Amino acid sequence: MSGSSSTFLEKGIALKIEGNYEEALEVLNRLLEEDPASCDAHHQVGLIYGFTGMFDESIQELEHAASLSPQRVDIQSDLAFTYTMLGMYDEAKSAFQTVLSLDPGNKRALENMQYLNNAT
C-alpha cells in the first residue's frame, strides 16, 4: 500500500470511528479509485454501509473484501456477523466455518455457531 493509500485508510477509519460516515465514505472511495483492490478499504466501506442501513451494499463490499483477502479473520468475522444480523443464517454458518478454519479457537465464532445451530 502506498503512503497516500495508507493515509486515506487511516483518515477513513478515524472518520468512521467518529461517526462521520459520509466523509469517511468519501475518503475511502478516493482510496478505492487509487487502489480498487484494497481489501481494507472495501472492508471499511462495508462496515459503514452496515452502520447506515445499506445492507445489500454492506454485504457486497464485505464479500468483496473477503474474496480479496480470504485469510483475514477480521473480515470473515464481520461478514459472518452481518449475515447473522440480517437473518441470513446459512451464509452466516458458512462464514463462521471459514473463521473457525482460520482460527479454530475463535470464541465468538464458536458461540455464534452454537447459537445458529440452535436457532435453525
Output the pLDDT for position 3: 59
Question: Structure pTM?
Answer: 0.91
Output the pLDDT for position 119: 80
Distance CA 21, CA 57 (A): 14
Report the pLDDT averaged over residues 3-22.
90
Residue 102: alpha-carbon gap to chain centroid: 16
pLDDT digits (tens, 9 = 90+) for 74-110: 999 999 999 999 999 999 999 999 999 999 999 999 9
Question: Which stretches within 35-88 are classed as H helix?
Answer: 39-51, 55-68, 73-85
pLDDT digits (tens, 9 = 90+) for 31-44: 999 999 999 999 99
Task: Give helix then strand counts, H and E, for the chain.
Answer: 7, 0
What single-letter DSSP state applies at residue 88?
-
Query: 72's torsion region: left (phi>0), alpha (psi -120 to 50) or beta?
Result: beta
Q: What residue type is 16 in one-letter code?
A: K
Q: Are 116 and 84 in contact (CB under 8 A)?
A: yes
Domain ranges of the chain: 1-54, 70-120
1-54 shares its CATH topology with 70-120: yes
Just give the CATH number of 70-120.
Answer: 1.25.40.10
Fold type of domain 1-54: 1.25.40
